[in-house]
Amino acid sequence: MGTSGAFGGSDTKPWTKVREQLDELLDPPERKPDPDDDDSDDGEPEPLDVLITNIAQALIADDPRVRPGRQIRNPTPSAAVMEMLGRLGMGDSARRTSSRGTTGRRDLGGGARSAGRAIYAGIAAGRGDAAAVTAAGVPFENLAGKSWFEQVLVITDTVIGTSANADEHALRTAVVEALLAIDADAAADLNEAEVLRDVIAAYVVELAVVELSAALTAREITEAEAEAVEDDVRAYVEVRRDAIAVSPDAVHTVTDFEDAAELLLQEVLLILRAGGASS
């Protein structure tokens, strides 16, 4: 069931709320019908809505870099990145250096930036742009003679690393799946912002699975029941992900890709924290 790792079963207050809500999702309390109310549950949030809201809040609490209002350092961002800043209500804050702290129990912002760099390298490799691949820190010669699958692993291992850390495993899983969908035929016509949005949403799902897997393993439920919870989380996040507008403008430089990924992580988490997925 998903990934297991260092942060599964985190004992912070926000993650305790997540586990409590998971219990309610798996074993909902019996509610006695109100004879004077034809629809006594009307207006009550669904347990899955509350679970996802609590997961988003817990992730935001884990890392100051993904909290609302986090600014970027790039003084000349692309139009696509400026649009993301505008959606987050930061306007021209790209031209100011953030004074917020970056120390947290997780480096999710840093993970998002690594995802952006890896996606940049992957798109460049698919387009055969040796200079751009090298600019992302991946020696182009290391890709020579390899299948696309092998190239994806080289890019991911180089940019993200190969440690056993659960969060890095979650990041690699999301990035590898995104890059495998990119090849020489697809790379030419990709919307970079859409790829980044989707990989960041997948990253959030994998982070959620890291935390939920420990709680699910501790319960006397079948593997199929555990996988059903994971599938529900994935489906919910995908619906909410699609609410994020994708800029028609290209994302150009390595820094743009990193900035866009970090801003999209903020945006995804804010949308999930707000709850209320549509169907």
Question: In the prediction, which pLDDT does 215 show?
Answer: 78
Greater confidence, 144 or 222? 144
Question: In the prediction, which pLDDT does 90 show?
Answer: 75
Whether residue 8 lies inside any domain: the answer is no
In angstroms, the CA 49 to CA 46 distance is 5
Whether residue 80 lies inside any domain: the answer is no
The 10s digit of each residue's pLDDT in 62-96 is 987 787 766 677 777 888 888 888 888 776 544 44
Greater confidence, 164 or 133? 133
Question: In the prediction, which pLDDT does 133 show?
Answer: 96
Amino acid at 90: M
Q: What angle do the packed helices 108-126 and 192-217 form, to 10 degrees?
A: 130
Question: In the prediction, which pLDDT does 188 show?
Answer: 72
Domain count, the chain: 1
Amino acid at 25: L
Which segment of 53-57, 113-117, 160-164, 246-250 scores lowest on mean pLDDT? Answer: 246-250
Whether residue 97 lies inside any domain: the answer is no
Residue 269's domain spans which residues? 13-72+85-92+106-274
Task: Give the three-state DSSP class for 246.
Answer: coil
Question: In the prediction, which pLDDT does 248 show?
Answer: 80
Whether residue 6 lies inside any domain: the answer is no
Whether residue 100 lies inside any domain: the answer is no
3-state secondary structure string across 121-176: HHHHHHCCCHHHHHHCCCCHHHHCCCCHHHHHHHHHHHHCCCCCCHHHHHHHHHHH
The 10s digit of each residue's pLDDT in 226-242 is 889 999 999 999 999 98
The 10s digit of each residue's pLDDT in 186-222 is 777 788 889 999 999 999 999 999 888 877 877 777 8
Whether residue 129 lies inside any domain: the answer is yes
Question: In the prediction, which pLDDT does 89 show?
Answer: 78
Q: What is the pTM of this model?
A: 0.85
Greater confidence, 43 or 74? 74
Record the tokens describing residue 27, joined without a space: 């074993």
Question: In the prediction, which pLDDT does 160 show?
Answer: 95
The mean predicted confidence, pLDDT, of the chain is: 83
Question: In the prediction, which pLDDT does 97 show?
Answer: 43
